[in-house]
Amino acid sequence: MQDSDETVVSPDILKPLVIRSLRRSNVRKKIAEYLFDISPSGSYTSEIAYNVKTTPTNVIGAIRGMNSRYRGDESLISLNLVEQINSGKNNEIKLYKLTDFGKEIVESLRDNKRRF
């Protein structure tokens, strides 16, 4: 996670913030789990929405942040869990896929879930 001063936050410090963010939002958590399941492939907004049973607006908010409902600093992109890939003729198609850090987080959440 980087702020405007280009400060890099270590994964050890970021991990608790990420887990807190995922626990606060079922939509963020479901999106991360869905992208984990289809990894290494990516997906587009409406397909993600269909598979996690929510609206495309909620998906965009969870991934990129949107007003007060989905804070930008807790978005999946800001937390370095998801990356946006632009493709198509004029980069008009936005695909989202889980980063390596995102895969690590989802795996640790699933491991914790299995233990209890």
One pLDDT digit (tens) per residue for the chain, 116 residues = 444 444 556 667 778 888 888 888 899 999 999 999 999 999 999 999 999 999 999 999 999 988 777 888 889 999 999 999 998 788 888 999 999 999 999 998 888 766 65
DSSP for residue 100: H
Q: Is residue 2 part of a domain?
A: no
How many structural domains does the chain have? 1
Does residue 72 form part of some domain? yes
Can you give the residue range of the structural domain that contains 86?
11-115
Q: Considering the entire predicted model, what is its pTM? A: 0.84
Instruction: Give the DSSP H or E segment for 34.
Output: helix 26-38
Q: Specify the CATH number for the domain of residue 44.
A: 1.10.10.10
> Do the domain assignments include residue 1?
no
DSSP class of 72: G
Amino acid making up residue 60: I
